[in-house]
Amino acid sequence: MTIATTAPSRIDAAWTALDAVPDPEVPVLSVRDLGIVREVLEHGDGPIEVVLTPTYSGCPATEVIAESVREAVVAAGLGPVKVTQRLAPAWTTDWISPEGRAKLLAYGIAPPSGSAAVAGDRKVRIRPPGVACPRCGSADTERLSAFGSTACKALHRCLACREPFEYFKPI
């Protein structure tokens, strides 16, 4: 009996290759975990197109990410690649995958709490209450600074275990 095997499509293989491309600012996350890879398209026998939405339009890592994406797809033997930026809709922390949120927590960064989407009359909180400490889980925390090592993170301290930590702000 012969078992037929099906090779993954170029699109599937490209998505797999992108799983290994780390975000330069938070290297525990891949560009897929972060949700900045919006689409992978195949145009016949031509180049694969990877559509990226940067975390914000002035992100200094945008060019590094695009080059890393190109290198990963070519290294996977998938031929030439075209990287396109899509700015609308704007990236949101809602696009961080559940796996990405778990990786942030395991790395010691509190993932964004709740949804960044504003619906109806819900208020947007500049200082979310009770950001849970990624080390001990306590919600008895305080914000020390609106900005951490990058603009997308804030510096907090746990009042229970006294450890400082970064919080990935919902955007």
Kindly report, residue by residue over 117-130, the tens digit of the pLDDT: 654 444 555 556 67
Question: 120 lies in a domain?
Answer: no
Question: 1 lies in a domain?
Answer: no
Question: 121 lies in a domain?
Answer: no
Cα distances (Å, whole numbers) of residue 46 to 11, 15, 52, 85, 123:
12, 17, 19, 18, 47
Q: What is the pLDDT of residue 121?
A: 46
Residue 138 belongs to domain spanning: 98-115+127-168
Question: 122 lies in a domain?
Answer: no
Pairwise pLDDT comparison (44 vs 168), residue with the higher score: 168
Kindly report, residue by residue over 157-166, the tens digit of the pLDDT: 999 999 999 9
Kindly report, residue by residue over 15-66, the tens digit of the pLDDT: 999 999 999 989 999 999 999 999 999 988 889 999 999 998 788 889 999 9
Question: 25 lies in a domain?
Answer: yes
109-110 β-sheet, strand order: 109-110, 164-168, 153-158, 141-145
Distance separating alpha carbons of residues 69 and 73, to the nearest angstrom: 6
Distance separating alpha carbons of residues 51 and 30, to the nearest angstrom: 15
Kindly report, residue by residue over 58-94, the tens digit of the pLDDT: 888 899 999 999 999 999 999 899 999 999 999 999 9
Q: How many domains does the chain have?
A: 2
